[in-house]
Amino acid sequence: MAHSPFGRLLREWRALRGMSQLALATEAGVSPRHLSFVETGRSQPSREMVLRLAEALDVPLRERNALLGAAGFAAVYRESALGAPALEPVERMLAFLLERYEPFPAYLLDRCTRVVRANRAGLATFAPFARDAEPWREKPLNMLRLTLHPDGLRPYIVNFEEVASSLLVRLARDAALAGADEEMGALVEEVRALPGLPESVRVPDLTRPPAPILAVHMKRDDFELRFFTMLTTLGTPQDVTLQDLHIESFMPADAATEARLRELAAGGARAG
């Protein structure tokens, strides 16, 4: 018997999460027999069952809509454009959070690390490292590409191998969680193919536990900054766009960096 489109997608997600039929059935509160019939197309899942299985598999909202469509149901989770009235309260709060990080740089990024918004410090901090090169001309800027590209920030990151390894491990984990996200998959392949990446970085070690923070040491001539980065996500988003967003902030790792950032902020305020 031919497998149903939903059954095929469900098996792919179950394999991606490393769950047996029995484990998934137990987690979702359905019988293993019924789950087996759903995967083989002998039984049609209800809308409620699709959502329970997606929740048990921790499927991103974007892909939950795809599962619903494959089972013959309408999408449940909307994907609002930034600037839409429905997102106005959340966008206002995100802008508030970015401002509160001042004078330290913070960026609102989407799932492929494009810079959606930045605070004033975020715009000013990396200016001393900027060059007339493709990664800097990209609109919007892509934070991952800018960090790893040889014409981006790479020449100025003293601990580049450590930073690149951590970022590629994070990207690989995010891509695995996202499943069949073609755009994210393409980004993974692109950055792995960048010239000059150490072999230890090109194929990330996913068995390594993620570090609690990422230390970044940057230096160009006598301009030197030491950061640790922090990620902030929305806890329970019900919109695909919001689930894709997170704030990445760069906090000073020493007193000298904090003083330099405060100087940059003061200079920007005077210029304004």
Span 151-163, pLDDT tens digits:
999 999 999 999 9
Q: Are 67 and 6 in contact (CB under 8 A)?
A: yes
- In CATH terms, the superfamily for domain 85-271 is PAS domain (3.30.450.20)
Averaged pLDDT, 160-181 = 84
Mean pLDDT of the chain: 89
pTM for this prediction: 0.81
Among 87-96, 179-188, 254-263, the least confident range: 179-188
Residue 205 makes CB contacts below 8 A (sequence gap 6+) with: 165, 169
What pLDDT is attached to residue 206? 65
d(CA 109, CA 170): 14
Higher pLDDT, 212 or 42: 42
pLDDT at 269 > cutoff 70: no
Among 174, 192, 199, 196, smallest CA distance to 184 is for: 174
Give tens-digit pLDDT for 214-237. Answer: 999 999 999 999 999 998 888 777
d(CA 178, CA 185): 9
User: pLDDT tier at 78 (50, 70, 90 boundaries)?
Assistant: confident
User: pLDDT tier at 271 (50, 70, 90 boundaries)?
Assistant: very low
d(CA 245, CA 186): 19
pLDDT at 114 > cutoff 90: yes
d(CA 178, CA 13): 10
d(CA 60, CA 122): 28
Domain ranges of the chain: 5-70, 85-271
What Å distances lie between residue 5 and 2, 14, 42, CA to CA? 9, 14, 12
What pLDDT is attached to residue 268? 60
Averaged pLDDT, 247-268 = 92
Among 45, 5, 42, smallest CA distance to 24 is for: 45
pLDDT at 193 > cutoff 80: yes
Among 230, 226, 200, 225, smallest CA distance to 212 is for: 230
Distinct helix (H) and strand (E) counts, the chain: 14, 5
Residue showing tokens 């590409």: 145
What pLDDT is attached to residue 3? 63
d(CA 146, CA 70): 37
- Tell which CATH classification among 1.10.10.60, 1.10.10.10, 1.10.260.40, 3.90.1170.50 matches the domain 5-70: 1.10.260.40
Return the sign of the alpha-carbon dihedral for residues 175, 210, 144, 233.
positive
pLDDT at 1 > cutoff 70: no
Q: Is 247 helix (H, G, I), strand (E, B) or coil?
A: strand
What Å distances lie between residue 146 and 70, 163, 170, 230, CA to CA? 37, 13, 16, 18
